[in-house]
Chain A
Amino acid sequence: MVEERLIGDDGLREDGRKPDQLRPIKIEAGVLHNADGSAYVEWGKNKVLAAVYGPREVHPKFLQDSTKAIVQVTYNMAAFSVDDRIRPGPNRRATEISKIIGEALEYVILTHHFPRSSVDVYIEVLEASAGTRCAGLTAASVAVADAGIPMTDLVVSCAAGKADGQIILDLGKSEDNLGEADVPLGYIPRTGEIVLLQMDGHLTKAEFEKAMNMAMNACKDIYEMQKDALRRRYAVGADEDKTPTQEVIE
């Protein structure tokens, strides 16, 4: 088998990043017209949109909770978002990701303020290149904030992992496919709590701890980008035309 090198002799990765370096990230809040809140995240080659509707009536009705709002997340990848076309519609992977992202978000949303209602979050991956669940959760939490839904903090998400024997941050596509481990993590910077954690591959305990720390540190940087996106959206004199109005021009 030909050994595929993911980290060069200079210690740099395929795309020229250092082991603890994130891909370029761009976050924008309030990008959609109809949704109550929305966000767009470009994370390396990932392009992810998140839309929030609610709190609104629960469909189907039997899901409603008389004590709090429920959080329903639908994560979906566009048919054209990857190399081989994806058949549209839900699949097991999307169902699982929707569930864990929903659970992570629910923790920070003050759901008991909105009994019997639903906060519906739609995450559409327009283009995918490893790390879409992290980009999706990061976008979704900005979108929930943009919708004006009270939260205890934003959730930030980022992965770390292992490739070529080294612990690295924010795995790219080939690192994800060929590397030794992937640890996506969802983090609440204000309290230091972890609300999403998955892992596949093989790591020693020390390596796992190093990966977690690396991801948590990166989350703190991404957190600043999230807040910055919200500030840009709501700063006085910010672009106002995205606010839906029913004003009649005569």
Chain B
Amino acid sequence: MSKPIIAEIQKEQIRRLASEGKRMDGRGFEELRNLEVEVNSIGAAEGSARIILGNTDVLVGVKMSVGTPFPDKPNDGVLMTGNELKPMAHQDFSVGPPGPVSIEIARVVDRGIRESKMIDLSKLCIVPGEKVWMVFVDIQVIDYDGNLFDAATLGALLALHNTTVPARKFEVGENHKLPVNGWPLTVTSSKMDDFIMVDPVLLEEQVADARLTVSVDENDFIRAMQKGLSGAFTYEEVVKAVDVAASLTKKLRQKIISTGE
């Protein structure tokens, strides 16, 4: 992805609005964009979710197959998370193997799933040392207007919560729901000057100095964090961002669980 060129006047406008406590789209600093979700619209996938967060549009699909475990973890299933920033989604994305931006997102989403233990990989073992379930979470960005971390994480969680293990197809028993638990949702804040706002749109992301993604689970435990870009946060700012993430993920979780399942 080439470095975006942003007009000074646009930066100034964002700064001026921020100093008045405002944002370009009229949101407050701690307000998420409008969210729409669609679950299991892809029949060929074992589970899928479409997340439309403002103008950001992400589709996550889960595929499963039977494979061999890693030698160092003979009793664990395998989880793999991939992300593709396709040129369809934005003019700055190009064809080709995933670059650093794309890989960072995939890894943050993967870590959120793995470290929260929302999938107990030992339950995905079929024959120890020989046969385990492989879970592929593929994130496809369809339209990009900022904050892929949160959209992709949410999509992955929703897709996994709605995944059916295709056991019959691989002749290892009857189809059943993928055992998952928990909702380690993320909220991303971006910082420009001394202003910190959640769920940045693309332009806010492009003028940002620093970014912080915080993953919080349903018991208010922080499960993962990722700081990005070349700016810095103060200690107070981090604490505040975590508080904001905790309260926003709580609201988001209630909304998702009531609509998504």
Q: Which chain A residues have a beta carbon within 8 Å of chain B's beta carbons?
A: 32-35, 45, 47, 49, 51, 53, 56, 59, 74, 76, 78-85, 88-90, 120, 122, 124, 126-129, 246, 248-250
Alpha-carbon distance A45/B143, docked complex (angstroms): 22
The 9 A-B pairs with the shortest beta carbon distances in the complex, nearest first, are A80-B61, A85-B63, A122-B88, A79-B138, A80-B45, A51-B88, A33-B55, A249-B26, A127-B42
Given known contacts A34-B143, A248-B24, is B13 in contact with A124 (CB within 8 Å)? no
* Minimal beta-carbon separation of B5 from chain A (angstroms): 14
Interface size class of B (residues with CB under 8 A): 35 or more
* Minimal beta-carbon separation of B15 from chain A (angstroms): 12
- Cβ of B164 under 8 Å from chain A: no
Q: Count contacts between A and B, CB distance < 8 Å.
A: 98
Contacts of B169 in A (CB 8 A): 83
Q: Using CB atoms, name the residue of chain B closest to A33.
A: B55
Report 29 cross-chain contacts, Cβ distance below 8 Å, ordered by A residue. Answer: A33-B57, A33-B143, A34-B91, A49-B142, A51-B87, A51-B88, A56-B91, A74-B95, A78-B42, A78-B59, A78-B138, A78-B140, A79-B61, A79-B63, A80-B44, A80-B45, A80-B48, A80-B138, A82-B44, A85-B138, A120-B87, A122-B86, A124-B86, A126-B42, A126-B59, A127-B44, A249-B25, A249-B26, A250-B17
Q: Using CB atoms, name the residue of chain A closest to B24.
A: A248
* Minimal beta-carbon separation of B45 from chain A (angstroms): 4
Q: Using CB atoms, name the residue of chain A closest to B50.
A: A126
Contacts of A249 in B (CB 8 A): 24-26
* Minimal beta-carbon separation of A223 from chain B (angstroms): 24
Q: Which chain B residues have a beta carbon within 8 Å of chain A's beta carbons?
A: 10, 13, 17, 22, 24-26, 41-46, 48, 55, 57, 59, 61-63, 65, 82, 84, 86-91, 94-95, 97, 136, 138, 140, 142-145, 169
* Minimal beta-carbon separation of A91 from chain B (angstroms): 13
* Minimal beta-carbon separation of B91 from chain A (angstroms): 6
Alpha-carbon distance A82/B55, docked complex (angstroms): 27
Q: Using CB atoms, name the residue of chain A closest to B61.
A: A80
* Minimal beta-carbon separation of A206 from chain B (angstroms): 36
Q: Is the CB of B90 within 8 A of A34?
A: yes
Given known contacts A122-B88, A128-B44, A249-B26, is B82 in contact with A79 (CB within 8 Å)? yes
Q: Using CB atoms, name the residue of chain B closest to A129.
A: B44
Q: Using CB atoms, name the residue of chain A closest to B46.
A: A80
For the complex, would chain B's binding face be called helix, strand, loop or mixed by DSSP majority? loop
Q: Is the CB of B43 within 8 A of A79?
A: no
Given known contacts A34-B90, A49-B142, A120-B87, is B42 in contact with A81 (CB within 8 Å)? yes
Q: Using CB atoms, name the residue of chain A closest to B64.
A: A85
* Other contacts beyond A76-B86, A127-B45, A129-B44: 9, CB < 8 A: A33-B55, A33-B143, A47-B41, A74-B95, A78-B61, A80-B45, A84-B65, A127-B43, A128-B44
Q: Is the CB of A85 within 8 A of B59?
A: no
Q: Using CB atoms, name the residue of chain A closest to B20.
A: A250
Partner of A88, one of B13, B84, B145: B84
Partner of B142, one of A56, A76, A90, A124: A124
Alpha-carbon distance A88/B13, docked complex (angstroms): 40
Contacts of B62 in A (CB 8 A): 80
* Minimal beta-carbon separation of A114 from chain B (angstroms): 16
Given known contacts A34-B145, A53-B91, A85-B136, is B82 in contact with A80 (CB within 8 Å)? no
Q: Using CB atoms, name the residue of chain B closest to A74.
A: B95
Alpha-carbon distance A49/B90, docked complex (angstroms): 14
Contacts of A122 in B (CB 8 A): 86-88
Contacts of A59 in B (CB 8 A): 94
Given known contacts A47-B42, A78-B138, is B87 in contact with A53 (CB within 8 Å)? yes
Q: Is the CB of A250 within 8 A of B144?
A: no
Q: Is the CB of A32 within 8 A of B145?
A: no
Q: Using CB atoms, name the residue of chain A closest to B42.
A: A127
Contacts of B57 in A (CB 8 A): 32-33
Alpha-carbon distance A51/B10, docked complex (angstroms): 27
- The residue in B62, B88, B136, B142 that gathers the most chain A C-beta atoms within 10 A of its C-beta is B88
Alpha-carbon distance A223/B86, docked complex (angstroms): 28
Contacts of B90 in A (CB 8 A): 34
Q: Is the CB of A32 within 8 A of B88?
A: yes
* Minimal beta-carbon separation of A94 from chain B (angstroms): 11
* Minimal beta-carbon separation of A92 from chain B (angstroms): 16
* Minimal beta-carbon separation of B63 from chain A (angstroms): 4
Contacts of A56 in B (CB 8 A): 91
Alpha-carbon distance A140/B46, docked complex (angstroms): 28
Q: Using CB atoms, name the residue of chain A closest to B98.
A: A88
* Minimal beta-carbon separation of B179 from chain A (angstroms): 20
* Minimal beta-carbon separation of B210 from chain A (angstroms): 24
